[in-house]
Amino acid sequence: MKFDIELVGKIGSMALINKENNILDYTLIARLSSELKPGYIWVTSGAAETGRLDYIKRNGKELEGSPEDVKTDYAAQGQSILMETYRQYVDSKYSLRQVLVEHQHFNDEQKREHLKAMLLRSKEQNAIPIINYNDAVSTEESRRFEIQSLKADHKKVVECVDNDETATQIACLVKAETLLILTSTDGIYKDSSDPTTLIKEISGKDVYEVLDNINECENYCNGASRKGANGARAKLEYIKDAVKVGTRVIIASAKYSIKDILSGKVNATRIFVK
């Protein structure tokens, strides 16, 4: 099978934060950024949390108001910080391109093709796309209404309620060889409280068997790392679309290097057709 992009990677909000000091984990971002290169597409969460921490740092308190408005304001503040940080640590010989997406970019064929073409051009133009969902302009109420309208006309609708879904849809769009989901854990566990129960492989002789085995593993998944996150079960549900098009999926800890994860040197959950 021919793949157009080597890797689509995604990192979650909590993996980006140094919990001891309540700041961005600059060491982690520097390490990961140094590995990014053309042919990689990077999906990053963390804008709202980064903006929240920055606002507290500058004002000594949290924002007040409706949760929707607060999230919007934090995300708008955090986006520039995230991009500045990635730009600081990505190899200077590569261009960096910020891409803010919404569900409409995946549910409209013309917008899908426009986005796909831009992402594929980036590889040829020595550039690395950094993608995030555009929380600063997308309200929950408007998104819900738009999704409901789309479902009346479409059999399957991309909602992008989580960057795991966004990363999966990007991987499908550009025919990525590997989809890498980085989290704060080593992968999917049978028992989240017991690290020895890590599920290192979910595979099968064909796509249908892999999907059946993913469904079985979903039964082990409960809870999420933070409020508003959808947890391991949602990750497994989202990545099914990538498996269907032949993409290898790896769910791993952000504490490891991309190189070591891809080479199989460290623990992770690897999902593929044998």
Q: Taking 90 as the threshold, does the pLDDT of residue 103 lie above it?
A: no
Q: Which residues of 254-273 are buried (b: 16+ CB within 10 A; e: fewer)?
A: bebebeebbeeeebbbbbbb
Phi-psi region of 126 (alpha: psi -120 to 50; beta: other; left: phi over 0): left
Coil, helix or strand at residue 120: helix
pLDDT of residue 154: 63
pLDDT of residue 208: 97
Give the model's confidence band at 225: pLDDT under 50 very low, under 70 low, under 90 confident, else very high: very low
Please name the amino acid found at residue 242.
A
Q: Taking 90 as the threshold, does the pLDDT of residue 146 lie above it?
A: no
pLDDT of residue 155: 61
Give the model's confidence band at 104: pLDDT under 50 very low, under 70 low, under 90 confident, else very high: confident
Of 77-86, 159-168, 258-267, which gets the smallest average pLDDT?
159-168
Q: Which domains does the chain have, with CATH numbers?
A: 5-273 (3.40.1160.10)
Query: What is the separation of C-alpha 230 from the centre of its chain, rounded to a whole number of angstroms?
Result: 12
Q: For 184-195, how does the pLDDT look when each residue is reduced to its tens digit (9 = 90+)?
A: 999 999 998 999
Which has the higher per-residue pLDDT, 148 or 221? 221
Q: Which residues of 96-111 are buried (b: 16+ CB within 10 A; e: fewer)?
A: bbebbbbbbbbbeeee
Which has the higher per-residue pLDDT, 260 or 145? 260
- Average pLDDT over the chain reads 91
Helix (H) or strand (E) run with residue 21 in it: none
The label of the residue with tokens 């989580």 reads: 162
DSSP of 76-100: HHHHHHHHHHHHHHS-TTSEEEEEE
Q: What percent of the chain has pLDDT over 70?
A: 91
Phi-psi region of 53 (alpha: psi -120 to 50; beta: other; left: phi over 0): alpha
